[in-house]
Amino acid sequence: MANPNKSNLTVSELKKTNSQLATENAKLKKQMTEILNKPDKRNKIWKNLIIFVCIAFAGAILVAGNLLFWVGNTIVDTNKFVATVNPLIEEPAVQQGIASYTTNQLFTRFNVEQSLTDVLPPRADFLAPTLTNQLKSTTQSSLEKILSNDSKFQTIWKDTIKTSHEKLIGYIRQYEGNGTITINSIYKSLSDELQNTKLSFLANKNLPASVGSITVANFPYLPLAHNVVNYLGLYQSIAIFLLIGFSVIAIVLSANKRKTVIVIGIMFTIFMALSILAIRIVVYSVTNLAQSDYRNAIGALANIIADPLISQTLMLLLLGILIAAVAWISGPYKVAILTRKRVKTLFEGNIHQAIFSSGENNFTMWVGSHRQILQWSAVAIVAFIMLIVELSPILVFWYALLILLLVLLVEMLAAKSH
């Protein structure tokens, strides 16, 4: 007959062993889950590298796109180019430069000193250099007065700039070649303008090969200018698409998306700050490379053409700061949380209560439960408007203020969450 105590002891031991095995099994499952869910260190490195490359590409594309939009808004468009450079003729430095250049060219083409020597008596020919300098000074002063006071000349100046710019852009659009300008290419351009004139009989004539093939100048960047002018709109669209695309890829791949948005905003700010510095260096270099007689005029020209680019770059810099600031202030950071709490307390404790008293309604409850969605939607809408309108640093400030007011308005309307 079997011993019942021995049988019970065996069952108890089996139950205990089974419990231990179950515990160990659960522990192993937990460890296996952690191992499977733990990201591979190598994959994490590659992912971070891709994020970094995407942010770097986005910054570089922002710089290139900034230049493309400046070229489109200032250089290629004749009306905007004329509007930009028209004030040049009113600059004293430019007036002095034009007068100086005209006077120098006049006295270089005609040997005034020799002419004076020929008409002076032999004993007075030593006065020729002094008289030449006085005549040159008087000529330059007279030209400066004409440039500064003659509105008719200023009108001719503006019309000449417009006509010249239209011809230049038209020539670049139609140009086909490798950057070498020959007599044939110049004649072809002139021939097109003679079609509807009394000199139309000179159009479409074939020049001798020995003459037409003579190289007048070589501009290796002319084919690039031809492509930019003809496909500028396409390049601008591609720049916007790539900028948004690389930024979105970096944000999607990152584990901490808010931090990536802040980094993108900071990187955009840095790239734009460096761009402004580079523009200033280029303007300074161009000015100092000019001859001393025309340095002030060249400096005024370089500054007035670069001003739209600097304003546009400054606008993008402020936009980068705005992106980083919005992402930071809405994040789980100690100072940001403290700031939000103080604003929230202000609106919920004073303004909100003053408007809605102690009773809430369905609207305020709905706004309270969708607070973050509404705030980010307001930011996105204003950001989209900023992309499709022509901006200036002042407008960026007002748009930033509008975003702040919309965010605070949502805070004011939102009921306190429980």
pLDDT in tens, 363-411: 778 887 888 888 888 888 887 887 777 666 677 778 878 887 888 788 7
Q: What is the CA radius of gyration of the chain?
A: 37
Q: Does residue 292 sit in the same domain as residue 335?
A: no
Q: Does residue 290 sit in the same domain as residue 348?
A: no
22 belongs to a structural domain: no
**What Cα–Cα distance (Å) separates residue 322 from each residue in 30, 279, 343, 384?**
44, 23, 18, 14
97 belongs to a structural domain: yes
Q: Does residue 303 sit in the same domain as residue 346?
A: no
pLDDT score for 6: 47
Q: Does residue 251 sit in the same domain as residue 293?
A: yes
Q: Does residue 270 sit in the same domain as residue 346?
A: no
279 forms bridges with which residues in the sheet?
none
Q: Does residue 148 sit in the same domain as residue 98?
A: yes
69 belongs to a structural domain: yes
63 belongs to a structural domain: yes
- Its sign, for the CA torsion 96, 97, 98, 103, is positive
Q: Cβ distance 118 to 321 under 8 Å?
A: no
**Residue 119 confidence class, pLDDT cut points 50, 70, 90:** low
Block residue for tokens 């001798």: 208
401 belongs to a structural domain: yes
Q: Hey, how many other C-beta atoms are within 10 angstroms of the C-beta on 181? A: 17
Q: Which residue range forms the structural domain that includes residue 296?
A: 46-152+231-308
Domain C-terminal end among 273, 308, 343: 308
Q: Does residue 120 sit in the same domain as residue 268?
A: yes
Q: Does residue 285 sit in the same domain as residue 391?
A: no
209 belongs to a structural domain: no
The amino acid present at 41, given as its one-letter code, is: K
In the chain, the number of structural domains is: 2
**Residue 269 confidence class, pLDDT cut points 50, 70, 90:** very high
Q: Does residue 241 sit in the same domain as residue 335?
A: no
The amino acid present at 82, given as its one-letter code, is: V
Q: Does residue 299 sit in the same domain as residue 334?
A: no
160 belongs to a structural domain: no
Residues with Cβ < 8 Å from 181, sequence gap 6 or more?
215, 216, 217, 218, 219, 222
Q: Does residue 236 sit in the same domain as residue 294?
A: yes
Domain C-terminal end among 276, 308, 340: 308
142 belongs to a structural domain: yes
Q: Does residue 354 sit in the same domain as residue 262?
A: no
Domain C-terminal end among 245, 274, 308: 308
What is the tens place of the pLDDT at every residue in 280-337? 999 888 888 877 777 777 888 888 888 889 988 988 898 898 888 888 887 888 888 8
**What Cα–Cα distance (Å) separates residue 375 from each residue in 210, 241, 361, 416?**
72, 25, 20, 16
